[in-house]
């Protein structure tokens, strides 16, 4: 073997060359891992930025949807209005002295919340021992629907003693005015408790 061959061959197998090769291989692996780590960090940042963007865009949309709900909710008028237990007790106590008074309860047709309120009055009159018309509450297709609560009688006869008390108690509870109503079509002696459409946009 020539001196060149011996020198070159011995150089490949020397400890110094092997250490250098290992060091280069290690550096290459470290560099590869750093690049991969940098890619993962960049990907995580990208996903975080996208999530933040979706959150920022979605929040106003959610607020707009909520605003639309708040605007349209009162227009549906689907919330049933019923009397509170305190109002019920007050009415029963005031009307009980007039046990036997004939009464009927009518309400506008096609309104679930008005029907619920009419049923409350039926129970109140029964608790006060009034003579409630068996078909009450009855839904009526009025040509001109009553507004709010309208206790009504036929003034052709004697005003039922219970009528002023009913009117005044409703007014005291904030459920109506202190004025009764009259209708010649109602049989004399009967009180017609009419549950009309809401008196104002704020009434449910």
pLDDT digit string, tens, across residues 186-202: 999 999 999 998 876 44
- Quick: pLDDT tens for 57-66: 554 554 444 4
Lowest mean per-residue pLDDT among 3-17, 29-43, 96-110? 3-17
Q: What domain range includes position 23? A: 3-76
Do 102 and 183 reside in the same domain of the chain? Answer: yes
The residue among 27, 53, 76 that closes a domain is 76
At residue 15, the pLDDT reads 52
The pTM of this model reads: 0.59
Do 67 and 108 reside in the same domain of the chain? Answer: no
- Asked whether residue 201 is domain-assigned, the answer is no
- Asked whether residue 200 is domain-assigned, the answer is no
The residue among 76, 110, 138 that closes a domain is 76
With DSSP H G I counted as helix, E B as strand and the rest as coil, what are the percentages for the chain, rounded to 5? 55, 15, 30
Do 64 and 115 reside in the same domain of the chain? Answer: no
Do 8 and 72 reside in the same domain of the chain? Answer: yes
- What integer best gives the mean pLDDT of the chain? 75
- Asked whether residue 203 is domain-assigned, the answer is no
Do 32 and 123 reside in the same domain of the chain? Answer: no
Do residues 197 and 114 make contact, with C-beta atoms less than 8 angstroms apart?
yes
Do residues 201 and 73 make contact, with C-beta atoms less than 8 angstroms apart?
no
Lowest mean per-residue pLDDT among 71-80, 103-112, 115-124, 148-157? 71-80
- Whole-angstrom distance between the N-terminal and C-terminal Cα of the chain? 110
Do 44 and 116 reside in the same domain of the chain? Answer: no
Do 156 and 190 reside in the same domain of the chain? Answer: yes
């Amino acid at each position: 073997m020539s001196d060149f061959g011996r020198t070159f061959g011995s150089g490949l197998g020397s400890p110094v060359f092997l250490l250098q090769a290992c060091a280069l291989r290690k550096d290459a692996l470290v560099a590869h891992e750093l690049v991969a780590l940098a890619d993962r960090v960049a990907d995580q940042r990208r996903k975080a930025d996208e999530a933040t963007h979706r959150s920022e865009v979605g929040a106003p949309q959610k607020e707009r949807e909520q605003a639309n709900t708040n605007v349209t909710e009162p227009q549906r008028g689907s919330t049933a209005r019923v009397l509170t237990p305190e109002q019920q007790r007050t009415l029963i106590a005031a009307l009980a002295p007039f046990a036997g008074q004939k009464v009927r309860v009518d309400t506008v047709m096609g309104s679930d919340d008005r029907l619920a309120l009419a049923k409350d009055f039926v129970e109140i009159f029964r608790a006060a021992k009034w003579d409630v018309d068996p078909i009450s509450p009855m839904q009526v297709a009025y040509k001109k629907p009553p507004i709010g609560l309208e206790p009504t009688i036929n003034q052709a006869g004697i005003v039922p003693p219970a009528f002023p008390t009913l009117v005044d108690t409703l007014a005291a509870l904030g459920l109506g005015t202190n004025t009764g109503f009259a209708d010649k079509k109602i049989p004399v002696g009967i009180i017609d408790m009419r549950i009309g459409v809401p008196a104002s946009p704020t009434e449910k």
